[in-house]
């Protein structure tokens, strides 16, 4: 049975988008029915997709998650001591697994803050929140359910107190450059002089390492990628032959990004009943399902500066494999 005291320390609220967010049907019409075909990555994260992402983080090839976790474990105390935040907002928090390093640091410093995870995947976030209030008796968790592409100005955050905004996992890399800048501008707009952004980004490196990270031998990333077609089948009455798609992960050095694609093994016709639409996919035709941009110290600096932010501290993994940075709003 749930302890009522714990329940009161975990609240949840749906966040209405501040700017219009397209529906799945609109995104499918705009992306899947155009050439090249594409889909926004947020549709990966139904319950199954969120679990598959967690499983990806356990694969030997997917280094970003464990590399970032090691940085948080090593520098969490320094980060929290420096941030001295009253409220921690985390964008795309998922399972909040790595955030625990920051909460452990709060514990060690006897420094309490409230936690505001914001994610489109409600179940994963609520399960994580329930575990967090259990494990950290001083913690209040206010789960915010919504789509961050609808902006951040509608978040019901406390208006006083110092904020730390956390955006981990390299998820900023899933935005195209203009949208990444827009997202950082939204973050900057939430920040006052003493507030900080803690941002994790993956770095440009050898393409073999990058491509293996997005095409693990056990096929977990392939299952995650194909899962988006299951989402379309379920939500739009589709009949994609899910297993007839090959997973591909290609590093495009010119754009400094991994492109995940699904390639049809054979020609077939697809019906999406909810859209009253039927279309033909040719053999080897591809759907782009995700970009995952990788950064250099220079490209990261430039992106932060364009959004009105300035790098304050930089925690770098060995061989420059990954960057965790603290940034402030520029004066
Ligand atoms: N931060 C975690 C999870 C990264 S996976 C980590 O580093 O391990 C990306 C997370 O972003 C998922 O939990 C997914 O549900 C969430 N997400 C993706 N698109 C989103 C959107 N448009 N709005 C809100 N959350 C989103
Ligand atoms: C959530 N995001 C940062 C992951 C990434 O690395 O771009 C999603 C992912 N896609 C395939 N593997 C992991």
pLDDT tens, residue order, the chain (331 aa): 344 565 679 999 999 999 999 999 999 999 999 999 999 999 999 999 999 999 999 999 999 999 999 999 999 999 999 999 999 999 999 999 999 999 999 999 999 999 999 999 999 999 999 999 999 999 999 999 999 999 999 999 999 999 999 999 999 999 999 999 999 999 999 999 999 999 999 999 999 999 999 999 999 999 999 999 999 999 999 999 999 999 999 999 999 999 999 999 999 999 999 999 999 999 999 999 999 999 999 999 999 999 999 999 999 999 999 999 999 999 8
Best residue for ligand 1 mutational test, from 21, 118, 119 (most atoms within 8 Å of Cβ): 119
- Structure tokens belonging to residue 176: 């195209």
CB atoms within 10 A of CB 252: 12
- Structure tokens belonging to residue 212: 């293996």
Backbone φ, ψ for residue 176 (5° rounding): -70, 160
| Beta bridge pairs of residue 145 | 14, 119
State the distance from the centre of ligand 2 to the C-alpha of 171, rounded, in angstroms: 7
State the distance from the centre of ligand 2 to the C-alpha of 9, rounded, in angstroms: 31
State the distance from the centre of ligand 1 to the C-alpha of 278, rounded, in angstroms: 31
Interatomic CA distance for residues 182 and 176, integer angstroms = 10
Residues 6+ apart with CB under 8 A from 170: 64, 68, 200, 201, 202, 292, 322
State the distance from the centre of ligand 1 to the C-alpha of 191, rounded, in angstroms: 21
- Structure tokens belonging to residue 30: 């705009």
Q: What is the pTM of this model?
A: 0.97
Best residue for ligand 1 mutational test, from 45, 64, 118, 123 (most atoms within 8 Å of Cβ): 45
Q: Where are the alpha helices (H) located in the chain, listed in sequence order?
A: 4-9, 24-27, 47-57, 63-83, 99-109, 122-135, 177-190, 207-213, 220-236, 297-306
């Amino acid at each position: 049975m749930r302890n009522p005291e714990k329940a009161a320390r975990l609240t949840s609220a749906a966040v209405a988008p501040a700017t219009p967010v397209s529906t799945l049907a609109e995104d499918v019409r705009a992306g899947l029915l155009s050439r090249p075909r594409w889909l926004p990555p947020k549709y990966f994260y139904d319950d199954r997709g969120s679990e598959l992402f967690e499983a990806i983080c356990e694969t030997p090839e997917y280094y970003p998650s464990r590399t970032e976790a090691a940085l948080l474990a090593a520098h969490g105390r320094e980060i929290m001591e420096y941030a001295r935040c009253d409220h921690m907002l985390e964008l795309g928090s998922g399972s909040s697994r790595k955030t625990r390093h920051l909460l452990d640091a709060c514990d060690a410093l006897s420094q309490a803050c409230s936690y505001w995870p914001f994610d489109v995947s409600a179940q994963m976030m609520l399960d994580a929140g329930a575990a967090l209030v259990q494990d950290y008796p001083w913690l209040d968790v206010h789960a915010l359910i919504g789509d961050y592409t609808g902006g951040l100005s509608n978040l019901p955050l406390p208006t006083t107190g110092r904020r730390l905004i956390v955006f981990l996992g390299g998820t900023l890399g899933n935005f195209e450059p203009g949208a990444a800048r827009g997202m950082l501008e939204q973050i900057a707009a939430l920040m006052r002089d003493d507030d900080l952004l803690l941002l994790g980004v993956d770095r440009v490196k050898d393409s073999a390492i990058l491509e293996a990270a997005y095409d693990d031998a056990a096929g977990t990333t392939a299952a995650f990628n194909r899962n988006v077609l299951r989402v379309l089948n379920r939500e739009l009455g589709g009949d994609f032959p899910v297993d007839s798609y090959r997973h591909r992960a290609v590093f495009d050095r010119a754009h400094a990004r991994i492109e995940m694609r699904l390639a049809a093994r054979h020609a077939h016709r697809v019906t999406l009943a909810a859209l009253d639409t039927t279309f033909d996919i040719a053999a080897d035709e591809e759907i782009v399902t995700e970009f995952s941009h990788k950064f250099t110290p220079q490209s990261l600096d430039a992106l932060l500066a364009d959004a009105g932010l300035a790098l304050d501290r930089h925690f770098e993994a060995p061989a420059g494999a990954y960057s965790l940075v603290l940034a402030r709003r520029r004066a």
